[in-house]
A = this chain, B = another copy of it.
């Protein structure tokens, strides 16, 4: 890939680093960029064990590119929203964990996108905002489900009513980010975390990102049952054997 592309991939060993690359639009998510994400996640490289996503030009993403959104009919809006849902689900159900390195603007669709990632690093100067309400439209990229999962429906309602901005520091406190770093250091931290994640068993990483989310939508009793099924199944196959063997031999496991 080259710098002309809206999505740049740098493969660093078993880590895929994706860069949103529309810096002149603060990486607004237009149809091309969504399609490029779709294509990547439909066919994650075989050797990849973790994915890092960042934005070029100092911003993660300013959200849906509204200049494309003008004058759509309601049923077109519905179709457009369902397509985002499909692509965001690909990310959330990625075969390997996804780490978002967030800087600058993380707004609207950009925050919806970040909320579909599994680990989120924020620079202190990040600006989280959901400005849709101010512009007279509702969210459509999954935010009412995924951002609510992070901060609750109550805080999301207030964010959208008032259009307020939260900083990276505040965002880490509320659940919009898991790690807080000084300006300019999000990618470095994200790559470090991706490296740590990549040393886990691919099987167990898959269960962690799938099963915990699924169990979270079950009633408690059913969730406990599903947890037991997952625990039992995670003991199957060579990775589980290596993990327990390494523990007994007091060495780090090597999951290949």
Contacts and interface: CB of A to CB of B under 8 A. Distances in A.
A43 B129 CA distance: 33
Interface string A210-247: 11111111111111111111111111110110111011
Given A75-B203, A236-B75, A243-B135, A161 B214 contact: no
Given A162-B119, A212-B153, A229-B230, A137 B219 contact: no
Contacts of A85: 224, 227-228
A175 interface: yes
Interface string A10-46: 0000000000000000000000000000000000000
Given A218-B217, A228-B82, A244-B66, A211 B138 contact: yes
27 contacts: A66-B244, A71-B244, A77-B232, A78-B229, A78-B231, A78-B232, A119-B161, A135-B246, A136-B200, A136-B234, A136-B240, A136-B253, A140-B227, A140-B228, A144-B226, A144-B230, A149-B154, A150-B152, A153-B213, A156-B212, A211-B229, A214-B225, A217-B218, A218-B219, A219-B221, A229-B230, A232-B233
Given A82-B228, A135-B253, A218-B222, 6 more contacts: A74-B233, A138-B231, A144-B215, A145-B227, A153-B216, A232-B233
A92 B138 CA distance: 19
A85 B175 CA distance: 28
B197 A232 contact: no
A232 B133 contact: no
Interface in A121-145: 133-140, 142-145
Contacts of A233: 74-75, 78, 138, 229, 232-233
Interface string A80-103: 011001000000000001000000
How many copies altogether? 6
Contacts of A72: 235
**Quick one: which of A140, A153, A161, A236 has the most chain B CB within 10 A?**
A161
A133 to B, nearest CB: 5
A148 interface: yes
Contacts of A56: none
A1 interface: no
Contacts of A209: 157, 161
A203 B210 CA distance: 26
A234 to B, nearest CB: 4
